């Protein structure tokens, strides 16, 4: 999963545009064998580099990177003299305890600081180097719903959020424990 593969329709509902590594192949007809690293730099699970194996937690990692991109407005790889991964940049900034230094300036302060802390903490856990330490996608969805509720409950009159969290529909594939990696 990466931001370039998330499309929004006229109602701002997200759709995945490319399933990349997750395409289903009929093993009797087509086989998919890869001998090299496949995926987009910045979104790949660090464990994939050593194991060449993808898992549900690989999707959690890439989704965490997407969350960090949404929060910061920055790409997964920060260019410059000290090129680094977005999660490293965020961790460095947060080590000083200043959440506002990472929030996309285009937000112009129109956010609940507690909600931003919660989503940032979630994104950091999703991008943990160890897949065993990452939450499941079901847990991620639950925490995002709670964070959205917090944001809505502190909503300013000018904010344009739904008044009921139940209007948010999550894809049913998230609730399917036997499903494999969703998208890269």
In DSSP terms, which residues pair with 8 in a beta bridge? 14
From CA 183, how far away is CA 61, in angstroms rounded?
A: 11
CATH code, residues 40-155: 1.10.510.10
- Residue-wise pLDDT for 166-183, tens only, equals 444 444 434 444 444 444
Task: Give residue limits of the domains in the chain.
Answer: 40-155
Q: Which residue has the tokens 């090299």?
A: 36
The arithmetic mean of pLDDT across residues 65-91, rounded, is: 93
- The overall pTM is greater than 0.95: no
The arithmetic mean of pLDDT across residues 1-22, rounded, is: 71
Nearest to residue 122, comparing CAs of 61, 56, 44? 61
């Amino acid at each position: 999963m990466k931001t370039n593969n998330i499309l929004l329709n006229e109602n701002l509902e997200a759709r995945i545009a490319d399933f990349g590594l997750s395409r289903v192949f009929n093993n009797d007809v087509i086989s998919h064998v890869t001998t090299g690293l496949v995926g987009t730099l910045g979104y790949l699970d660090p464990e994939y580099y050593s194991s060449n194996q993808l898992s549900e937690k690989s999707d959690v990692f890439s989704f965490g990177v997407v969350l960090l991109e949404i929060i910061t407005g920055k790409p997964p790889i920060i260019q410059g003299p000290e090129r680094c991964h977005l999660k490293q940049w965020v961790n460095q900034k947060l080590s000083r305890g200043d959440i506002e230094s990472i929030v996309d300036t285009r937000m112009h302060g129109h956010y609940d600081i507690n909600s931003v802390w919660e989503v940032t903490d979630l994104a950091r856990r999703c991008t943990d180097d160890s897949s065993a330490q990452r939450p499941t996608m079901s847990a991620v969805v639950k925490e995002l719903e709670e964070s959205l509720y917090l944001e809505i409950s502190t909503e300013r009159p000018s904010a344009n959020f739904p008044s009921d969290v139940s209007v948010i529909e999550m894809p049913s594939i998230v609730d399917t424990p036997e499903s494999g990696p969703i998208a890269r």
